[in-house]
């Protein structure tokens, strides 16, 4: 089955850290750029960042709102991407999704999302 | 950053009638080297992740009904639902993936009149 499965969400205090995982199956993970998108309750989606493929030097890019605090990585041997979130703020509270982009197909696979709540 | 502006914010259409949503980007999302527009359309229902309907501005995702179509190039794009069905009630977003940061439009809520 073609799917992405996010995990690792939870409740964390402001200033804390959390690491999300995005496990892929059923498609060529190593040929896919992985993007993270978040959505706060009642709001539209917000792009968080992406990591490209080995062929594109695993290049990363981030939204200004998370740059310097969040880091995206991937392990192609495990078909898994990660989102390390540090110095979390209340405004980072959202459902976090991963999705994929290739040269031919765009964002046609999404996970079910994992909830991150930043609160004291 | 590329700003995506969608219109209208909401839309009420009778069953079987046409629904049209517009999206304008603040700069071109047409990549000249491959002549592709880096523009996608998503449908989102409550409690679900966004679902891609259209990418490369006009390529319909597999399994998406052919009543959904995308058109446009450069900075102006349109999503058309040719004959609205009850299951099409949702919020629709355009998104550019031409250059980071990827950006979404503000969304258009489609309802039944």
CB-CB neighbors (< 8 A) of A101 in chain B: 97
pLDDT digits (tens, 9 = 90+) for A72-104: 999 999 999 999 999 999 999 999 999 999 888
- If you average pLDDT over residues B17-32, what whole number do you get? 98
Which of B97, B100, B106 has the CB atom closest to A44's CB atom? B106
Concatenating the DSSP letter of every residue in A38-65 gives: EE-TTS--EEEEEE--GGGTT-EEE-TT
Inter-chain CB proximity B104 and A44 less than 8 Å: yes
Inter-chain CB proximity B50 and A37 less than 8 Å: yes
CB-CB neighbors (< 8 A) of A64 in chain B: 101
pLDDT of residue B15: 98
Q: Is A41 exposed, middle or buried (0-12, 13-18, 19+ CB in 10 A)?
A: exposed
| Mutation site, B102, B105, B107, B108, interface A, largest A CB count within 10 A | B102
Q: How far is CA B11 from CA B6, B79, B89, in A?
A: 12, 13, 10
- Alpha-carbon torsion, ordered A52, B35, B18, B96, to 10 deg: 30
Residue of B nearest to A49 (CA): B101
Inter-chain CB proximity A45 and B50 less than 8 Å: yes
Inter-chain CB proximity A97 and B49 less than 8 Å: yes
* B42, pLDDT greater than 90: yes
Residues 10-49 of B with CB under 8 A from A: 40, 42, 44, 49
pLDDT digits (tens, 9 = 90+) for B5-21: 999 999 999 999 999 99
Inter-chain CB proximity B49 and A113 less than 8 Å: yes
pLDDT of residue B65: 98
| B33 vs B25: CA distance, rounded Å | 19
pLDDT of residue A105: 85
pLDDT of residue A102: 87
pLDDT digits (tens, 9 = 90+) for B52-111: 999 999 999 999 999 999 999 999 999 999 999 999 999 999 999 999 999 999 999 999
Percent of chain A with pLDDT strictly greater than 70:
100
Which tokens go with B106?
């503000």
Say whether the peptide bond before residue B101 is cis (omega within 30 degrees of 0): yes
Inter-chain CB proximity A108 and B52 less than 8 Å: yes
- If you average pLDDT over residues A12-24, what whole number do you get? 98
pLDDT of residue A104: 83
Which residue matches tokens 């069953």?
B15
Which of A50, A107, A112 has the CB atom closest to B100's CB atom? A50
- If you average pLDDT over residues A33-49, what whole number do you get? 97
What is chain A's mean pLDDT, rounded?
Answer: 97
pLDDT of residue A21: 98
Task: Specify the pairing of strand A70-75 against strand A60-62.
Answer: unpaired
pLDDT of residue A103: 81
């Amino acid at each position: 089955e073609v799917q992405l499965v996010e995990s690792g969400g939870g409740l964390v205090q402001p200033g804390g850290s959390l690491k999300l995982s995005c496990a892929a199956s059923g498609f060529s993970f190593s040929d896919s750029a992985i993007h993270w998108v978040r959505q706060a309750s009642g709001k539209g989606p917000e792009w968080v960042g992406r990591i490209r493929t080995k062929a594109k030097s695993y290049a990363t890019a981030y939204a200004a709102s998370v740059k310097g605090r969040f880091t995206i990585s991937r392990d192609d041997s495990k078909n898994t991407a990660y989102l390390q979130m540090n110095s979390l703020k209340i405004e980072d509270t959202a459902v976090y999704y991963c999705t994929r982009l290739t040269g031919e197909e765009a964002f046609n696979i999404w996970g079910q999302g994992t909830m991150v709540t930043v609160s004291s | 950053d590329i700003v995506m502006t969608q219109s209208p914010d909401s839309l009420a259409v009778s069953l079987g009638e046409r629904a049209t949503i517009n999206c304008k980007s603040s700069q071109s999302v047409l990549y000249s080297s491959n002549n592709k527009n880096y523009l996608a359309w998503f449908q989102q229902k409550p409690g679900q992740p966004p679902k891609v309907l259209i990418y490369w501005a006009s390529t319909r995702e597999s399994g998406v009904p052919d009543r959904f179509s995308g058109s446009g190039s450069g900075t102006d794009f349109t999503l058309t639902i040719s004959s609205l069905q009850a299951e099409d009630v949702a919020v629709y977003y355009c998104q550019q993936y031409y250059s980071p940061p990827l950006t979404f439009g503000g969304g258009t809520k489609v309802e039944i009149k």
